[in-house]
Amino acid sequence: MGTTLATGLPGVSMNVSDHICAFYRGVQERDEVLLPYLRAGLRAGDKCICVVDSTDPDALCAELTDEPRVDDDQLSAFRSEDSYLLHGRFAPDDMLDFWESVARSAFAFHDYTLVRAVGEMTWALRDLPGVDLLVAYEAELNRQLHKYPQVVLCLYDLERFTDGEALMEILRTHPQVLMSRMLVDNPWYIEPDELLTHQR
Amino acid sequence: MICPDGVPDAHDVTPRATLSRMRSLMILAQLMLESSTERQITQLAIGAARTLAACTRVHAELDEELGPGPDMTMSTRGVPDVASGPAAEGRGPRRWAYPLHSGRGHVGWLIVACDTPPDDEEHFLLRSLAQHAGVALVNLRLHEQQRAAVAEAERVNAQLHETLEALRRSMDVHARLTAVAASGQGRQGIAEAVHELTGLPVAVEDGFGNLRAWAGPDRPDPYPKDSEADRERLLRLALREGRPVREGDRWIGVSRPQQDVTGALVLFDPEGLATAHQLTALEHGLTILGMELARLRSLAESELRVRRDLVEELLAGTDEDSALRRAQALRYDLERPHRVVIVEGHDRDHDDEAFLHGVRRAARDQQVGSLLIRRGAHVVVLADHDADWERFRTAILDEVRGGRCRLGIGNRYPTIAGIPRSLHEAEVALRVQDAAAGDARATCYEALGVYQLLAEVRDPAATEAFGRTWLQPLLDYDEQRNADLVLTLSRYLDHGGNYDASAGALFIHRSTLKYRLHRIREISGYDLSEPDTRFNLQLACRAWETLNALRRDVDDTATPA
């Protein structure tokens, strides 16, 4: 801890191992968070991993072609169908393995010092097996973040996530909240052990 | 209930705990302000309330519209607001209502059921939560109203834009076609303008479906023509609709500015993809075509009137320079030899107008001339070419499909000064033909023989005296008895004393003829077998007929038919 990282938003910084819940409304507001976040990562030489759901990954990468790169693999962009929803279902353990393998690879085979991940979470609104495990997955992710130097930004569209009760659940799984260009420690956060125990 | 790690218990009143609770409320307030539905906001408020106070059940009641105001209590609902304290009696938890309102209005209540009454700090947190939720709800409603207003404004703007665009296009079409009308480019100009405006091939047709102008690619050759019945049906349909109608692979609009003036503007659209804008261009084009047809008709009528006036003046004798100038304006060469031909007759229906048009067509086909007028009961033609006049007469009868037709043809004169004289000659020729009886035919003045000589005698009194010298007893007998002895004598002598031919010409029986000749010999005392007597009697008869014809001519001139 102690090292502050640029979020790409003016005056807003974060720390290693942060798991941030970013609320926004619509794709335009999403990009106002997502693109600066990735640009800052590319400029800082971080390994950047991005999963998008409502945009084509190539279109997203095209927005960032002007940014300097450490190497061609510095930015990896995936569709939700190729990550969260691989094989047409959501399996939290598989997804946690996915993040870990990407992070492990970044540190084992490259000289990255930080993995900067971001996921667009609207895939969780689809009627597919396993999406009801979202809260458990988000809670479990908090435990994994300390294994490698990384930060994770989860993007929640308030125009799509209209269930207030679900939002409160999501709020309880993220130690930080980014909203209206403000990043604050989340008083509603519940440690994963307690949350998962209660859920069981 | 599980308590979030960062939200201290409501009973912890240390500054740090209070600050943390404020931050929790701030995050939630912000989240509610960002929320996109009322349900989202109330669910967030309900979820938070469960954390902020030891409650057993929380729900929200929303008014449909902004309510009466923040001072309203829940007493009417049986649930008191927080200021009134718990009122619900009986078993179960007691309930407290916290108003959901902002400065702009009241929208409902956050109702919290607790086993034990909330303390002051919990009341404060729940009231603050409800207030934030109220602000978020009011904001959302205002935002939705604003969004609806913006959407409506955008819809109206789009509609206005569309209307303006249609108006602009219509003005462009109007300007383009008006320019065509003003520049006198005629039907071809109209076809080209509509083709430019629509991008589709365009034809201008006359009322019969004949092609009059074409613009665009793939001009059909020969141009297809509907049957007479189909054409009539199509014209009626288009006129009844008052707008272009679809027929086969084309749109056709019909213009009829006057009863007997019809034109059609045709847009070829095999795929049937013509837009409203293209059809508007067609309709505008149709309007301009109507103006053009009316103009052409007016021009034709004016030209006809000028031609008629010119012919009248030429026949009466006019100033040569003035006549030549007007003829030039009509693109007619008057500086050629002309003769006058008088056509007398009628068609089977005695339709003067039809007879005039028949003479006009025959004159055109036989290349006799193009200047002609109706004058009294006759049609007068200024012939600039010589023709086989008997063929011309037959051609007229063919054109009017039967009837009767006689021609009187004057001599040909090199200048227009001779035209009145030629008219007189044509009239004499016609009269002499009349006097000479026989079948209707073409009579040239120059072929009148002795009649021409007699007609030109300057002193009719001498001619009359000569006639009376030889015919007076017979004239007196005819007058007293209403008989035809002079006419009988004339036909007998004209036919060389042949009984049968003479009787045929007079339409009488041979024995009647013999009886009349007997009476002529008795009354006059002449020997009709004597050559000199026969010659003088024949000359006297012709002189008398010529005088009669000239007298009728003078009478007719005095009182035209």
Domain count across chain A: 1
Chain B residues touching residue A164 (CB < 8 angstroms) = 35, 39-47
Residue B514: left (phi > 0), alpha (psi -120 to 50), or beta? alpha
Interface of A with B in 152-181 (CB under 8 A): 158-159, 162-165, 167-168, 171-172, 177, 179-180
B399 shares its domain with B486: no
Tell whether B327 is covered by a domain.
Answer: no
The torsion of the CA quartet B417, B421, B424, B425, rounded to 10 degrees, works out to -130
Tell whether B1 is covered by a domain.
Answer: no
What are the pLDDT digits (tens) for B109-135? Answer: 899 988 888 888 888 889 999 999 999
Residue B73 has a pLDDT of 38
Contact: A162, B47; criterion CB under 8 Å: no
B188 shares its domain with B288: yes
In the 8-state DSSP scheme, what is residue B120?
A: H
Tell whether A16 is covered by a domain.
Answer: no
CA angle B499, B503, B508 (to 5 degrees): 145
Final residue of a structural domain among B444, B477, B494: B444
Q: Is 80 exceeded by the pLDDT of residue B182?
A: yes
Q: How far apart are CA B356 and CA B468, in angstroms?
A: 42
B6 vs A61, higher pLDDT: A61
Q: Tell me if chain B has a CB within 8 Å of the CB of A191.
A: yes
Query: Which residue range forms the structural domain that includes residue B525?
Result: 454-558
Residue B436 has a pLDDT of 65
Q: What is the mean pLDDT of residues A98-110?
A: 90
Tell whether B309 is covered by a domain.
Answer: no
B504 shares its domain with B411: no
B462 shares its domain with B503: yes
Q: Is 80 exceeded by the pLDDT of residue B258?
A: no
CATH of the domain at B386: 3.30.70.270
Tell whether B312 is covered by a domain.
Answer: no
Query: Which residue range forms the structural domain that includes residue A145?
Result: 24-199
B378 shares its domain with B284: no
Instruction: Calculate how close chain A gets to B133, using CA atoms only, in Å.
Output: 12
CATH of the domain at B290: 3.30.450.30
Please tell me the pTM assigned to this model: 0.54
Interface of B with A in 90-149 (CB under 8 A): none
Tell whether A5 is covered by a domain.
Answer: no
What are the pLDDT digits (tens) for B539-548? Answer: 899 888 888 8
High-pLDDT (> 70) share of chain A, % = 98
In the 8-state DSSP scheme, what is residue B81?
A: B
B469 shares its domain with B426: no
Closest CB to B6 among A167, A179, A185: A185
B434 shares its domain with B481: no
Tell whether A2 is covered by a domain.
Answer: no
Most confident of A131-135, B226-230, B448-452, B466-470: A131-135
Chain A residues touching residue B6 (CB < 8 angstroms) = 185-189
B134 shares its domain with B60: yes
Chain B residue with minimum CA distance to A169? B47
Residue B174 has a pLDDT of 85
Chain A residues touching residue B7 (CB < 8 angstroms) = 187-188
CATH of the domain at A91: 3.40.50.300
Q: What is the mean pLDDT of residues B279-297?
A: 88
Contact: A164, B47; criterion CB under 8 Å: yes
Closest CB to A164 among B4, B24, B44: B44
Sheet with strand A47-52: strands edge to edge: A75-79, A47-52, A115-120, A150-157, A19-24, A176-179, A182-185
What are the pLDDT digits (tens) for B49-107? Answer: 888 888 888 989 887 644 443 333 333 344 444 443 344 444 557 888 898 988 777 88
- Can you list the alpha helix ranges (DSSP code H) found in A46-91? 57-62
What are the pLDDT digits (tens) for A58-84? Answer: 999 999 999 888 888 899 999 999 999
pLDDT class of B323 with cuts at 50, 70, 90:
confident
Residue A13 CB burial class (10 angstroms; 0-12, 13-18, ≥19): middle
B493 shares its domain with B402: no
For chain A, the average pLDDT equals 92
Tell whether B224 is covered by a domain.
Answer: no
Tokens of B350: 């005695």
Residue B90 has a pLDDT of 45
Chain B residues touching residue A163 (CB < 8 angstroms) = 39-40, 43
pLDDT class of A109 with cuts at 50, 70, 90:
confident
B192 shares its domain with B122: no
Q: Is 50 exceeded by the pLDDT of residue A1?
A: no
What are the pLDDT digits (tens) for B486-525? Answer: 999 999 998 888 999 999 988 999 999 999 999 999 998 9
Tell whether B248 is covered by a domain.
Answer: yes
Sheet with strand B105-114: strands edge to edge: B57-62, B105-114, B94-102
Interface of B with A in 328-357 (CB under 8 A): none
High-pLDDT (> 70) share of chain B, % = 90
Q: What is the mean pLDDT of residues B250-278?
A: 87
Tell whether B140 is covered by a domain.
Answer: yes
Q: How far apart are CA A176 and CA A188, in angstroms?
A: 9
Provide the β-strand partners of residue B245.
B252
Q: What is the mean pLDDT of residues B313-318?
A: 88
- Residue among A32, A47, A71, A72 at smallest CA distance from A151: A47
Residue B560 has a pLDDT of 37
End-to-end, the C-alpha distance of chain B in Å comes to 124
Q: Is 80 exceeded by the pLDDT of residue B375?
A: yes
B420 shares its domain with B458: no
The radius of gyration computed from the CA coordinates of chain A, to the nearest angstrom, equals 16
- Residue among B54, B210, B185, B203 at smallest CA distance from B118: B54
Tokens of B333: 């060469």
Instruction: Calculate how close chain B gets to A165, using CA atoms only, in Å.
Output: 5
Lowest mean pLDDT among A146-155, B390-399, B544-553: B544-553
Interface test with A, best of B40, B139, B147 (most A CBs within 10 A): B40
Tell whether A11 is covered by a domain.
Answer: no
Residue B369: left (phi > 0), alpha (psi -120 to 50), or beta? left
Instruction: Calculate how close chain B gets to A124, using CA atoms only, in Å.
Output: 17
B432 shares its domain with B462: no
Domain count across chain B: 4
Residue B343 has a pLDDT of 93
**Which three-class secondary structure string do you get for B342-401?**
EEEEECCCCCHHHHHHHHHHHHHHCCCCCEEEEECCEEEEEECCCCCHHHHHHHHHHHCC
SS3 content of chain B, % helix, strand, coil (to 5): 55, 15, 25
Residue A105 CB burial class (10 angstroms; 0-12, 13-18, ≥19): middle
Chain B residue with minimum CA distance to A161? B40
Chain A residue with minimum CA distance to B42? A164
Residue A189 has a pLDDT of 93
Q: Is 80 exceeded by the pLDDT of residue B360?
A: yes
Residue B88 has a pLDDT of 44
Residue B4 has a pLDDT of 64
